[in-house]
Amino acid sequence: MNPIEPLVIKLAETRLDEAGVKKLAEHYAALDWLNKARELQPNDSEFLIELAGRSCYKSFGVGINPNVTRIRENPKDYLTNVLEKGDGSILEHATVTFGFLNVSRVFTHEIVRHRAGTAMSQESLRYVRPRGISLWVPPDLGQASNKFSEAIEEIEQRYHDLENQFDWETMSFDEKKRVTSALRRILPDGIATNLIWTANHRTIRWVIEMRTHPSAEVEIRKVFGEVAEICMRDYPLLYADFSRKKQDDGTTQYVPKFSKV
């Protein structure tokens, strides 16, 4: 057994096409606004969300829409108001892609329950034949963790015994795939896997709230605690209302002031 730790990596995020944004601003006669606004808000994701929101009311400046007599010029005021009002649909325009590495199939089984606004690609245990069992040992096991590791090593041994019943060198790829898939049925839920996960900010806010709650499973809380830290660092206005709440077990819950925007 190879003991490992779950790892969270940010892989990608929304990027603006500056030429396209300029064209849009020209269309709305909002070039003056654009020049000022881009200086105030260099963050592409937060800017795109603000742009989408302002396009709804043409609130790029006073007078563009005759009904608008004042606007919130500061991006912080603008986005805080969006969160306060719960106008969360515009948060769906910007996404982040994460690599969740060394996570268990317990974790992936739970994260797939969040359907809205997500995309997932998970390592295949039909195609990939594991060389051994890599696994995160949950701290809750305490003194029983030795016995736990022994049990995993026994499964690992039995897996290899079964694997050795087949002559892999002579098998076609399709045969290998079928047998690999049959063999995986004895592998534990805790076996490490990798998942690429993309979600929009409306979804990420919701999943952080649900999955760092003390009632959630310990591994998913750990992973989404890291996601929360990355998002609070990289999108400070979109996550400005989140606060950290230390728990007795040393973990942290991330609580938004405005739930489920």
Contacting positions for ligand FAD (CB under 6 A): 113-116, 206, 210-211, 213, 215-216
CA–chain centroid gap for 249, Å, is 24
Considering beta carbons, is residue 54 or 202 the nearer one to ligand FAD?
202
Q: Strand, helix or coil at 155? A: helix
- CB of 47 or CB of 254, closer to ligand FAD: 254
Q: What is the length of the chain? A: 261
- SS3 state of residue 108: helix
* Helix-then-strand count for the chain, H and E: 9, 8
- 114 close to 207: Cβ distance less than 8 angstroms: yes
Q: Which of 214, 196, 178, 57 is nearest to 121 (CA)?
A: 196
Quote the least distance from Cβ 228 to ligand FAD, whole Å: 15
Rounded CA-CA distance 74/39 in Å is 11
- Our CB check for ligand FAD shows the closer of 92 and 163 to be 92
Supply the minimum distance, in Å, between the C-beta of residue 255 and ligand FAD. Answer: 14
SS3 167: coil
> 174-185 as b/e, with b when 16 or more CB fall inside 10 Å?
eeebebbeebbe
Closest listed residue to residue 186, CA positions, set 137, 138, 136, 133: 133
Quickly count: other Cβ atoms within 10 Å of residue 143's Cβ.
6
State in angstroms the smallest separation of the CB of 195 from ligand FAD.
Answer: 16
Q: Is 100 exposed, middle or buried, given 0-12, 13-18 or 19+ CB atoms closer than 10 A?
A: buried
For ligand FAD, the closer CB: 61 or 88:
88
Task: Choose between 131 and 245: whose C-beta lies nearer to ligand FAD.
Answer: 245
Backbone torsions φ then ψ of 192, nearest 5 degrees: -70, 140
| Interior angle at CA 91, CA 90 and CA 96, nearest 5 | 140
